[in-house]
Amino acid sequence: MTAASELKYFTSSDGDLAYREAGAGDLVVLVHSGFVDHHVYDAQLPALARTHRVIAPDVRGHGSSANASRPFRWTDDLAELLRHLDAGPAVLVGVSMGGIIVSDTLLEHPELVRAAVVCGASTGEFEDSDPWHQEIQAETTRALAAGDIEGWMKAFLAYAPGPRRTLDDVAPDIPRRLREMALSTLSKHTPGEKDWLVRVTDTWSRLPKVDVPVLTLNGALETADVITAARRLADTVQNGRSVLIEGTGHYPNMEKPEEFTATIREFLRTL
């Protein structure tokens, strides 16, 4: 196995974007969740690199990647990285925000995608009616606008256990790691700064054209809305299926890394 490299950078059309790389073979790209960085995949990167070339980028505005200075789309950044590396088509794996980026890329840059795993997400046009989820989103928005980092962090970390557990039910290493990564990303930003992100639209109507294999992979303790939307995604594309990992919430890759990785390995063997 090729060991994980030191952090690498490529000069995008708007600043330097960071990524880590390991292994050799068919390409797998791991796209992280919001406010953190590629370290959420610390268990998956070396494990998958035994049989594949694995790239784990820091999404723009996160980790060691540049902030935006003009309008951008997540999916275009990912496409630019893959073209810079002369790599692809790739198997894309995304958790939460990363899952949205994967869904966007299926639609906007299909030539770069061999297959996809979407976890804790569906598309960027997800309609959330779950009161617990809405309350957390409202609190994170309020706290971030007020510069209340501790209030924001409390709400942000509540995603990890999900609506039916508390942080006491999660291994303490998980919120510690999430907190460290989130504080690092927040340090790159200031309250009230302009949000340059351009969202991908008209997603659900275009999904029936997606013909590559798509796996939606979620913790069974996720909110019902997220699980329902994931199943809808799997049912809408031409070749989709859904899997639940019992006893875990929004971050199955961190709570049950061996099972999460094994499920992805099984999916890769079908390609």
pLDDT at 175 over 50: yes
CB 209 within 8 A of CB 103: no
φ, ψ (nearest 5 deg) of residue 17: -115, 140
For residue 3, name the pLDDT band (cuts at 50, 70, 90): very low
When mean pLDDT is compared across 8-17, 35-44, 123-132, 193-202, the lowest value belongs to: 123-132
Report the relative pairing of strands 90-95 and 8-12 from DSSP bridges.
unpaired
Second CATH level (architecture) for the domain 8-128+196-269 = 3-Layer(aba) Sandwich (3.40)
* Percent helix, percent strand, percent coil in the chain, to nearest 5: 40, 20, 40
Burial 234-248 (b: 16+ CB within 10 A, else e): bebbeebebbbbeeb
Q: How many CA atoms lie within 13 A of 154 on its CB side?
A: 8
DSSP string, 196-242: -B----S-TTTGGG--S-EEEEEETTS-HHHHHHHHHHHHHSSSEEE
Domain boundaries, given as residue ranges, for the chain: 8-128+196-269, 131-186
For residue 4, name the pLDDT band (cuts at 50, 70, 90): very low
**Which residues neighbour 108 within 8 Å (Cβ) at sequence distance 6 or greater?**
73, 75, 76, 79, 200
Both structure tokens of 30: 């791991």
**Ramachandran quadrant class, 195 (left: phi over 0; alpha: psi -120 to 50; beta: rest):** beta
**In percent, how much of the chain has pLDDT > 90?**
87
When mean pLDDT is compared across 105-119, 139-153, 216-230, the lowest value belongs to: 139-153
Q: Averaged over 213-232, what is the pLDDT?
A: 96
Report the pLDDT value the prediction gives residue 76, as an integer from 0 to 100. 98
Q: Which of 42, 30, 35 is nearest to 62 (CA)?
A: 35
How high is the mean pLDDT of the chain? 94
Beta carbons within 10 angstroms of residue 78's beta carbon: 30
- The residue type at 226: V
Q: Averaged over 9-24, what is the pLDDT?
A: 96
For residue 88, name the pLDDT band (cuts at 50, 70, 90): confident
When mean pLDDT is compared across 127-136, 164-173, 205-214, the lowest value belongs to: 127-136
CB 44 within 8 A of CB 253: yes
